[in-house]
Chain A
């Protein structure tokens, strides 16, 4: 009897759970309500007497504050003979001051519940500082010390150079980093953006004098923008920022003329050696001029269809259908002087050649064949739904605003996003696909030469680079030459 009862209980919890007739509403997914639009608070901006622009975005959802300082001192400002100097200056700027060591800065940042990072891009330097919102004064005082009392002592420079060397050494073990750096160098050859893709060998060439000159020339309030996001008014922000940064003196900072990247006239394949990596990383990209960045919403939809997610065409073709890749995605990056459309994938060495062919095939098919309206609507639905998720964290929201400000995309680019994406139709996407996906591309293959050298012969021609980015030789189907 006991056994029968136990069996019944077990049956109810297992098979029985599925055998009861289910309610009708369970059989199909519920219909969604209309997608809610949303408007984020607009930044209020005011210039200070020294030319520093101060913006405030009110946000009181948590007692944290974000301070984003944009400096017009990106890699594009590095002297021609000293690529990487802008990155190094940014590292030095946030590392120590004349009266505070690195450890003391770390201590101060942590004591206000904060985190501080500095990143250098092609166009600008972004200092991102997040802290408990009672500590705005301490945060501004620290920024003021960094700007007004930089420490360019020989000892500090040597220490920072060593730190950067180790950082790059570590990054170079990552095939994604190695591939992207070579891709940027190839795409922006002889363009000011080439300096962004610098290698370790240039570190020893930087000296105290040029560092101080660079800082003196470009770290100026009239070439900077400070954004505060949190629970404060523009009036309070202006008063406090003026108090701490009024001694920061302006100086003429030249405006750089826009220069379009020179597009390659044919597909080019390069290999970069990343020892001890079993898989093979592929980066395939093309650049476009600044005037085309107005297409950015069409590009966003195009990218979504091609390779934005695991449901997109590239992933489905290379992973799900062919089984070549662990992943395959596409993405776009926009800069002041142009942009970048790239595809990245990780595959096994045996299928590197067919994988590249498949990527090109999928991309070109998208430019030539009509795209169904269902696919377009699906992509738009994803982008609209996903956008708030991308800016949900206070730090990513702050970064998004800083990015928009740095590229002068208007005061409320996020509020126009819904309208702009909704308006994109099949014609615009087809035009964008033809414009960007039919261009010759640079293809970078990164991996261990020991596993990949046998595959070089499958390509018509492939330039081989060592892990320091030095050109070694070219292998082509006809001949190989030094």
Chain B
């Protein structure tokens, strides 16, 4: 078989043409799917999105609470509360929620994070009422009793201990957060401290539940195969009589950027190789700068062909053997984090120099249209992956609801990322990715 090599310029020209052509086609196609959203009189936000491709429904209940709502001396409550939500309510005994979902072939899980606590399940579409019954029962009548509380606390202490003794770099994550986030609310660990967990009382937990697990601090999202009118009736039936709670007030202070670089070292007895955490404080989510920062994240770290990935994990000249990072959001705060592991301290140093060199390039020269188009396509693909299943869609809509408060413009958000220009990137890179705004924590082996 003989193969003729084609001139390189034809190949490049065709790739450039097709990327631009297809980007326009995609923009015209419009991203999105149908959504209805409204509020019950108790303040519960409800989002409905029908999709008849498969006989499934996903139900997501998101409470606008996480570790950032914890007070000093009471850490670990958000995570503990997530576990206690499975410990039974007035009409559902302990772990019965899980059994009900499993029995019908469904899947469920929950996530507690720094700013949200999410409960979700996907079930055959004929079981929508069952899930709404279960979720409303624990929103209205959760039974928080001493034995369940002790059990959940024991499990949390155990998990915390296991991770401390078994996970390399685990403790350094928290040391780094304390350097990067200046306020207590954002910097303390989600798992809480051992001392705080031991001192928590049953009343602390009950107060936390009464304050945050209320309909006016939650979003209920249903996606999948259902009749909209019938779903609205079910939502009304199960959730409308749950009493509205006292409004949760946000007490966030304006973000303060550091004016000098912070560099610290820690030792990790479990680490087999030195590592580093590098971070920058960046603009809050959904501000104008944030859209460009997301595109910058793609250019720097997303995918095999991103710039820092190529530079540090280059096959022929690999200087790191582990690399991760990206934008991290905690409430109205956002930071950019990079974590790398290298063979020795010299290589750690080289990694950091290489990262700053890549950032310097972004600050001084415009990214080519072809490269920018590539990263925007990766972003489009990722957006679509966030809508791959009913559950993905429900999680996406719930998250966006807390930011936008009105989902009418949710699908126009994609355009804001796609409209970022090379000039925006140079400007934003110069604004946020400066050595003076950086925090570095070097992790040494013992």
Question: Which of A98, A115, A131, A386 meets B3, CB within 8 Å?
Answer: A98
Question: Which of A27, A32, A131, A310 meets B102, CB within 8 Å?
Answer: A310
Instruction: Name the distance in Å between A111's Cβ and chain B's nearest Cβ.
Output: 4
What is the 8 Å Cβ interface bit string for chain B, positions 1-16, against chain A (1 contact, 0 not)? Answer: 1010110000000010
Q: Does B44 contact A (CB under 8 A)?
A: no
What is the 8 Å Cβ interface bit string for chain B, positions 110-131, against chain A (1 contact, 0 not)? Answer: 0000000000001111110110
Q: Does B25 contact A (CB under 8 A)?
A: yes
Q: Is the CB of A135 within 8 A of B56?
A: no
CB within 8 Å for A62 and B388 given contacts A9-B246, A18-B141, A389-B122: yes
Report B-chain residues with C-beta under 8 Å of the C-beta of A28: 91
Q: Does B53 contact A (CB under 8 A)?
A: yes
Q: Does A384 contact B (CB under 8 A)?
A: yes
Q: Is the CB of A135 within 8 A of B305?
A: no
Instruction: Name the distance in Å between A131's Cβ and chain B's nearest Cβ.
Output: 8
Q: Does A410 contact B (CB under 8 A)?
A: no
Question: Which of B55, B102, B211, B380 meets A311, CB within 8 Å?
Answer: B102
Report B-chain residues with C-beta under 8 Å of the C-beta of A311: 99, 102-103
Q: Does A99 contact B (CB under 8 A)?
A: yes
Question: Which of B26, B98, B225, B373 meets A111, CB within 8 Å?
Answer: B373
Q: Is the CB of B210 within 8 A of A13?
A: yes
What is the 8 Å Cβ interface bit string for chain A, positions 369-410, against chain B (1 contact, 0 not)? Answer: 000000000100111111111011111000000000000000
Report A-chain residues with C-beta under 8 Å of the C-beta of B168: none
Report A-chain residues with C-beta under 8 Å of the C-beta of B284: none
Q: Does B41 contact A (CB under 8 A)?
A: no
Report A-chain residues with C-beta under 8 Å of the C-beta of B141: 17-18, 22
Report B-chain residues with C-beta under 8 Å of the C-beta of A12: 243
Q: Which of A17, A115, A148 has the most C-beta atoms of chain B within 10 angstroms of its own C-beta?
A: A17
Q: Is the CB of A386 within 8 A of B105?
A: yes
When C-beta atoms are compared, the residue in chain B nearest to A38 turns out to be B55
Tell me the complex Cα distance, A377–B37, Å. 38
Tell me the complex Cα distance, A102–B103, Å. 46
Tell me the complex Cα distance, A62–B53, Å. 11
Q: Does A14 contact B (CB under 8 A)?
A: yes
Q: Does B257 contact A (CB under 8 A)?
A: no
Report B-chain residues with C-beta under 8 Å of the C-beta of A205: none
CB proximity to B under 8 Å, residues A287-324: 309-311
Q: Does A35 contact B (CB under 8 A)?
A: yes
Q: Does B438 contact A (CB under 8 A)?
A: no
Report B-chain residues with C-beta under 8 Å of the C-beta of A331: none
Report B-chain residues with C-beta under 8 Å of the C-beta of A14: 206-207, 209-210
Q: Is the CB of B381 within 8 A of A113?
A: yes
CB within 8 Å for A134 and B22 given contacts A29-B133, A113-B377, A381-B105: yes
Tell me the complex Cα distance, A382–B101, Å. 9
When C-beta atoms are compared, the residue in chain B nearest to A111 turns out to be B374
When C-beta atoms are compared, the residue in chain A nearest to B5 turns out to be A99
Instruction: Name the distance in Å between A82's Cβ and chain B's nearest Cβ.
Output: 24
Question: Which of A18, A26, A29 meets B100, CB within 8 Å?
Answer: A29
Report A-chain residues with C-beta under 8 Å of the C-beta of B19: 111
Instruction: Name the distance in Å between B249's Cβ and chain A's nearest Cβ.
Output: 15
Tell me the complex Cα distance, A309–B107, Å. 11
Tell me the complex Cα distance, A454–B246, Å. 61
Report A-chain residues with C-beta under 8 Å of the C-beta of B25: 134
Q: Is the CB of B130 within 8 A of A36?
A: no
Q: Does B35 contact A (CB under 8 A)?
A: no
Q: Is the CB of A107 within 8 A of B374?
A: yes
Interface residues on A, range: 35 or more
Tell me the complex Cα distance, A23–B240, Å. 12
Tell me the complex Cα distance, A153–B45, Å. 60
Tell me the complex Cα distance, A115–B246, Å. 47
Report B-chain residues with C-beta under 8 Å of the C-beta of A13: 210-211, 214, 243, 245-246
Report A-chain residues with C-beta under 8 Å of the C-beta of B214: 13
Report B-chain residues with C-beta under 8 Å of the C-beta of A18: 90, 141, 143
What is the 8 Å Cβ interface bit string for chain A, positions 106-126, against chain B (1 contact, 0 not)? Answer: 111011111100000000000
CB within 8 Å for A36 and B126 given contacts A61-B51, A311-B102, A382-B104: yes
Report A-chain residues with C-beta under 8 Å of the C-beta of B15: 108, 111, 138
Report B-chain residues with C-beta under 8 Å of the C-beta of A159: 315
Q: Does A64 contact B (CB under 8 A)?
A: yes
CB within 8 Å for A389 and B106 given contacts A12-B243, A26-B91: yes
Q: Is the CB of A393 within 8 A of B388?
A: yes
When C-beta atoms are compared, the residue in chain A nearest to B89 turns out to be A18
Q: Does B303 contact A (CB under 8 A)?
A: yes
Q: Does A30 contact B (CB under 8 A)?
A: yes
Report A-chain residues with C-beta under 8 Å of the C-beta of B1: 148, 247, 249
When C-beta atoms are compared, the residue in chain A nearest to B123 turns out to be A385
Q: Does B350 contact A (CB under 8 A)?
A: no
When C-beta atoms are compared, the residue in chain B nearest to A97 turns out to be B3
Report B-chain residues with C-beta under 8 Å of the C-beta of A249: 1
Q: Does B29 contact A (CB under 8 A)?
A: yes
CB within 8 Å for A32 and B104 given contacts A62-B388, A110-B377: yes
Q: Is the CB of A25 within 8 A of B237?
A: yes
Report A-chain residues with C-beta under 8 Å of the C-beta of B207: 14
Instruction: Name the distance in Å between A414's Cβ and chain B's nearest Cβ.
Output: 11
Q: Does A201 contact B (CB under 8 A)?
A: no
Q: Is the CB of B304 within 8 A of A110?
A: yes
Tell me the complex Cα distance, A385–B106, Å. 7
Q: Is the CB of A62 within 8 A of B387?
A: yes
Q: Is the CB of B51 within 8 A of A22?
A: no
Report A-chain residues with C-beta under 8 Å of the C-beta of B51: 61
Report B-chain residues with C-beta under 8 Å of the C-beta of A108: 15
Q: Is the CB of B241 within 8 A of A23?
A: yes
When C-beta atoms are compared, the residue in chain B nearest to A100 turns out to be B11
Instruction: Name the distance in Å between A224's Cβ and chain B's nearest Cβ.
Output: 17
Q: Which of A27, A59, A110 has the most C-beta atoms of chain B within 10 angstroms of its own C-beta?
A: A110
Interchain Cβ contacts under 8 Å between A and B, 14 examples:
A13-B214, A14-B210, A17-B140, A18-B90, A29-B134, A34-B126, A63-B29, A98-B3, A113-B378, A138-B18, A309-B102, A389-B106, A392-B122, A395-B388
Known: A18-B141, A249-B1. 10 other contacts (CB 8 A): A9-B246, A18-B90, A22-B91, A34-B126, A35-B55, A61-B53, A63-B384, A110-B377, A385-B104, A394-B388
